[in-house]
Amino acid sequence: MKTKVLMAILAVVIAGLIAVPWIASYFYVFIFTEILILGLFAASFNLIFGYTGMLSFGHAAFFGIGSYATALVLIHLEWPFLACLLVSMGASALLALMIGFLSVRLNEVYFAMLTLAFGMMVFAIAYQWRSVTNGSDGLAGFTLGSFGLGLDLTLANPSVYYHVVLAIVAIASVVLYVICRSSFGMILRAIRQNPERVSFAGLNVRTYRLVAFVIAGTFAGLAGGLIAPFLRVASPELLHWSMSAEPILMAILGGTGYFLGPFIGSAAFVLLETWITTYTESWMLVLGIILAMMVIFFRKGLLGTAIDWWMEVKK
Amino acid sequence: MSGIGAALLNSLDIGLLLFIIAVGLNIVFGVLNIINFAHGALYMLGAYLAFTLINIAGMPFWAALLLAPIGVAILAVIIDRVLLRFIYSRDVADSLLLTFAILLIINESVRMIWGSGIHVVQPPQLLSGSVELLGSSVATYSLFVIVIGLLLLAGLWYLFNRTRVGRIMRAAALDRDMAEALCINTRMVVTGVFAFGAWLAAVGGVMAAPMRALDPGMGDKIIIESFIVVVIGGLGSFPGALLGAIILGLIHGFGGRYLPEVNLLLPFVGMALVLLFKPNGIMGKGASA
């Protein structure tokens, strides 16, 4: 019964998402493109935070590297978009392997400090290495050519780009979901609850944490590859720690204990941002206050609170 | 020779300033077992308060050095009593998240109040010249920072090893339940230590104000530097904070002079090297997961 209701809700949501360009204005096509991309970014973050219990303050490093990789390949090599995304994923996986190797062996407090420091290191490189990254201005002026796979898509059309993003995010989400539900995902959850017991069971906790970190970084890189053509620029702001704060907030807003939590958090976040920035420029201030309130009072997030409420009502 | 002498003095003033800030982070971690992500923001607040007191209210530098850190410490008491008290009994992730939220709030507030432009604070008349030392001329203010840094170092050592207050702080750090059983009001200790850490950060901020231009990103830079210091030295270790700060000071002092192209990267390289060989920091223990 419960799964049937959930499936029905999910089907309606997916149908609604597919229909967005036909029923809503261009403004909302842009909004929903952003929600989907940031949702994937937040879901990749939640694999290490919600599932494995590692709180990273440098997840924007992988998102940003992904966007720079796509921008660079588009500018210098003019490859099809799909190939750009694969390069983005490869680049962020490699970076995640390097940062993760140094960070995952230490405890939670150290891990938080190290991810933040290494994240800002990547930011500093992008800021200073002007000949490649164009410094604080970022990389702009790239155009999307073909998609790849012989598909004839006009990527410059926002509606087409939205559908491409929807399809890629959907596929990536299914892959992430399968990873979360696999025995590997079960072990990650066990590590979050009690790493000592997992290592007593003969499993190498450090390796599992590193693999989770690399997977999360790879999907964040994919999200970054999708955001560059959407924003038409890859700039250092995408690497800054305030960008790392966004998936943290989205995951907590939606609910870190649920696979779909980060997506709901992303939707709430983007809609809230759109609404609030029409009134004030101090979006980060509002973000900080919301984060503080969520952590203190609503630790389970919107989805968790709603599910608790639903259970209460059914009783 | 004079080049090396100047680089050495420069390293020492950067290093001791970093020590003042990082040791505050370390003390708060030692007693409260939380990493205060907003520590750099409190440092920035100290600098901006000093700017207002000196350039707007027309007070002398010395008055600002006394008053601005007290103001920041009072704010820290409020932060502790209003926000942090909710999460002391929770998982460590919650304290990281909450202090991160406080960091965002302070950063944006500074931008709203003082603007995103750059502000400059002049050093006091007495310290604005330069003196001949080791065959090269050195800014008097650098020497002042070194002297104050050494005085604070000695003061902190005395506080922790020779006074009752220091013993109470160490007792609360070792075993809070036991301290409570011995009639120590640990709640007050926690608030006091958090305020003391903020006070140290703000002292660092006021001291840094005449040396560096004030901008809303200055807190971000210093918190990263402080993290590097405690990672290199070892989290929670007093000598570790000093060692880490001096090492980072040397990296800046000599790196800025001899390797300007990769200057920004060197601290991270240093940190990565320490992590490879001593994952718990040079003086630290028990950080492995």
Residue ranges of the domains in chain B?
2-217
pLDDT at B32: 86
Q: Does B102 touch chain A (CB under 8 A)?
A: yes
CB pairs under 8 A between A and B: 116
DSSP letters for A254-283: H-TTSTTHHHHHHHHHHHHHHHHTTT-S-H
pLDDT at B285: 63
Which among A88, A111, A314 has a CA at the least distance from the CA of A219? A88
Neighbours of B182 (CB within 10 A): 11
Give the residue from A291, A293, A294, A297 with the most B CB atoms within 10 Å of its CB, the best one to mutate. Answer: A291
pTM: 0.88
Put simply, the answer to whether A288 touches B93 (Cβ < 8 Å) is no
Instruction: Evaluate whether B175 touches B33 at the Cβ level (below 8 Å).
Output: no
Put simply, the answer to whether A284 touches B94 (Cβ < 8 Å) is no
Chain B residues whose CB is inside 8 A of the A244 CB are: none
The residue of chain B with its CA nearest to that of A55 is B93
Strand partners, B132: B137
Put simply, the answer to whether A296 touches B83 (Cβ < 8 Å) is yes
Give the residue from B35, B37, B97, B276 with the most A CB atoms within 10 Å of its CB, the best one to mutate. Answer: B97
Chain B residues whose CB is inside 8 A of the A57 CB are: 37, 96, 100
Put simply, the answer to whether B101 touches A124 (Cβ < 8 Å) is no
Degrees, nearest 5: CA angle A164-A165-A171: 95
| Lowest mean pLDDT segment, chosen from A128-142, A179-193, A241-255, B97-111 | A128-142
CB within 8 Å of A61: residues ≥ 6 apart: A95, A99, A118, A119, A122, A123, A217, A239, A244
Give tens-digit pLDDT for A260-290.
999 999 999 999 989 988 888 888 898 899 9
Query: CA-to-CA distance for A159 and A161, rounded, in angstroms?
Result: 5
pLDDT at A1: 59
pLDDT at A157: 86
Q: Does B140 touch chain A (CB under 8 A)?
A: no
Residues of chain B scoring pLDDT < 70:
1-2, 134-135, 285-289
Put simply, the answer to whether A288 touches B279 (Cβ < 8 Å) is no
* Tokens of residue A258, six digits: 């649920």
CA distances from B212 to B50, B107, B187 (A): 13, 18, 37
Instruction: Evaluate whether A265 touches A251 at the Cβ level (below 8 Å).
Output: yes
* Tokens of residue A36, six digits: 């989907």
Higher pLDDT, A266 or A155: A266
**Predicted ipTM of the assembly:** 0.87
Which among B191, B252, B197 has a CA at the least distance from the CA of B22? B197
For A59, what's the count of Cα atoms within 13 Å in the CB-facing half-sphere?
34
Put simply, the answer to whether A53 touches B93 (Cβ < 8 Å) is yes
Each domain of chain A, given as residue ranges in start order, spans 29-239
